[in-house]
Amino acid sequence: MNRKQNKDLATLLSDVAAATDLREGEEGVRAILSVVGRAGALSLRDLARRVRMPVPVVAAVRRELEKRGLLDRRGGLALSGKGLDLVDVEMDAAPGCRCPACDGEGFVIPEAFSPLLYRLREMAADRPAVDVTLDQSHAAPETALRRALYLRESEALDRDLLVLGDDDLTSLAVGLLRRQLHLKGRLAVAEIDPRLVACLRRVSDAEGFDIEVHPHDLRAPLPGPLIGTFDAFLTDPPYTLEGLRLFVSRGGSALRPGVGRQAFICFGHRSPDEQREVVRTISDAGLGIVEMRPAFNRYDGAQLLAGVSAMIRAVTTSHTVPPEDPYNGPLYTADKNSRQ
């Protein structure tokens, strides 16, 4: 690329970032162009997942790039001739380094556990419909099973586990996997939605999973029997930073005292500034992040999460934090005006 092309590209990136008010800035536009160029053609949803930005945000950038004649809609999204001239992407001439077995995710469901996946799909077919006012958005059954397998990899599957909010049916995946592996351990859920409470109880009773399902609004502190009695917690909180803070705080209060208790937190990918807040929020709760697996969780139709979220594994430290008082502030995406 010559100097003039470089300058044209830099201007274009900053114009599009400004026109779309893109929180990821010029680098976000560059990433979008580069992913489209490398892929040849791909759908808007796949693009959003690859760059980990919400679908409506990527759609806005696409519109601006189309206006400038850089994108075509052949077989999905593709660079136009002008786009190819300007962007100069390396078009998959060299093989990529993503693992072909797991497509770069670093995690596969072994064949031996496929029957659990079929069973989980049957269970998910009877799950109540999404209630968006509670920021529900169902994770795929594969995701629930991957979470259970990840707990096992993290030596947490047979520990006393609390799930905070469970429209994803993670507790059922844990029940299935424990049964197959002959593992035991306390398993509890705290959930606000009475339909889910009934669904989880029904399946747990039918399968003999012995899951304690507690109807509870996490805006209130946890009830006594759930405080300080678990080895680990797992949560997929509301998409807001307030939701993250509240659910992680409640999860922390459920753990036994001591360092090294594990927290499994599923949270959507954020803009750079918000990502800093995510890490700070977890750290302020007295937890140290030990692993972050991008795009670990996949959701049905969650446009705002680009259909994926990260799995963050954190542990308690010697920095203890008192649990929050009752919380009455904004919590759900609908309570907020920002791009959540």
Ligand X SMILES: C[S@@+](CC[C@H](N)C(=O)[O-])C[C@H]1O[C@@H](n2cnc3c(N)ncnc32)[C@H](O)[C@@H]1O
Secondary structure (3-state) at 160: coil
Closest CB to ligand X among 26 and 167? 167
For ligand X, which is the closer residue by CB, 199 or 232?
Answer: 199
Applying CB under 6 A, does 192 fall inside the site for ligand X?
yes
- Could you tell me which residues come within 8 angstroms of residue 138 by beta carbon, excluding any fewer than 6 positions away? 124, 127, 130, 167, 168, 299, 300
Which residue in the set 17, 169, 302, 310 belongs to the binding site for ligand X (CB under 6 A)? 302
Binding of ligand X by 168 (CB under 6 A) = yes
| Residue closer to ligand X (CB basis): 186 or 219 | 219
What are the structure tokens assigned to 206, written together? 């039918």
The single residue among 32, 51, 57, 137 that binds ligand X, judged by CB under 6 A, is 137
List all residues 6 or more positions away from 284 whose beta carbon is below 8 Å from its beta carbon. 245, 321
63 binds ligand X (CB under 6 A): no
Which CA distances in Å does 277 have to 117, 129, 203, 229?
35, 31, 37, 28
Question: What is the smallest separation between the CB atom of 248 and ligand X, expressed in angstroms?
Answer: 12
Min dist CB 36 to ligand X, Å, is: 26
**63 or 219, CB closer to ligand X?**
219
**Among the candidate windows 55-63, 113-121, 145-153, 191-199, which touches ligand X by CB under 6 A?**
191-199
Paired tokens of 8: 């044209």
Q: Which residues pair with 311 in a beta bridge?
A: 266, 293
Per CB under 6 A, the list member of 28, 37, 141, 165 interacting with ligand X is: 165
Find the shortest distance in angstroms from Cβ 143 to ligand X. 9
> In the complex, what is the shortest distance from the CB of residue 72 to ligand X, in angstroms, rounded to a whole number?
32
The least CB distance from residue 8 to ligand X, in Å, is 40
Give the orientation angle of helix 141-153 with respect to helix 170-181, to 10 degrees: 50
Kindly tell me which residue out of 24, 26, 160, 166 binds ligand X, with binding defined by CB under 6 A: 166
d(CA 22, CA 297): 24
Q: What is the DSSP letter of 95?
A: P
Give the footprint of ligand X on residues 200-259 (CB under 6 A).
Answer: 217-219, 236-238
List 49, 176, 299, 324, residue binding ligand X (CB under 6 A): 299
Judged by CB under 6 A, which stretch of 41-49, 58-66, 106-114, 162-170 contacts ligand X?
162-170
Query: Which residue has the closest beta carbon to ligand X?
Result: 165
Q: How many helices (H) and strands (E) does the chain have?
A: 11, 9
Kindly give, in sequence order, each residue whose CB lies less than 8 Å from that of residue 207, ignoring residues fewer than 6 positions away: 172, 175, 176, 179
Q: Based on CB atoms, which residue is closest to ligand X, 229 or 303?
A: 303
> How big is the chain by its Cα radius of gyration, in Å?
22
**Residue 313 to residue 263: CA distance in whole angstroms:** 6
- Tell me if residue 13 falls in helix, strand or coil: helix
Q: For residue 182, give both structure tokens.
A: 């002959």
- Binding span for ligand X by CB under 6 A among 28-36, 67-75, 131-139, 153-161: 131-139
User: Does residue 26 bind ligand X (CB under 6 A)?
Assistant: no
Contact assessment for residue 280 and residue 312, using Cβ atoms and an 8 Å cutoff: no
Q: Decide: is 324 part of the binding site for ligand X (CB under 6 A).
A: no
Nearer to ligand X, 37 or 54 (CB): 54
Q: Is 199 in contact with 171 (CB distance < 8 Å)? A: no
Nearer to ligand X, 155 or 217 (CB): 217
State the number of binding residues for ligand X (CB under 6 A).
Answer: 23
Residues near ligand X (CB under 6 A) are: 134-137, 139, 165-168, 190-193, 196, 217-219, 236-238, 299, 302, 305
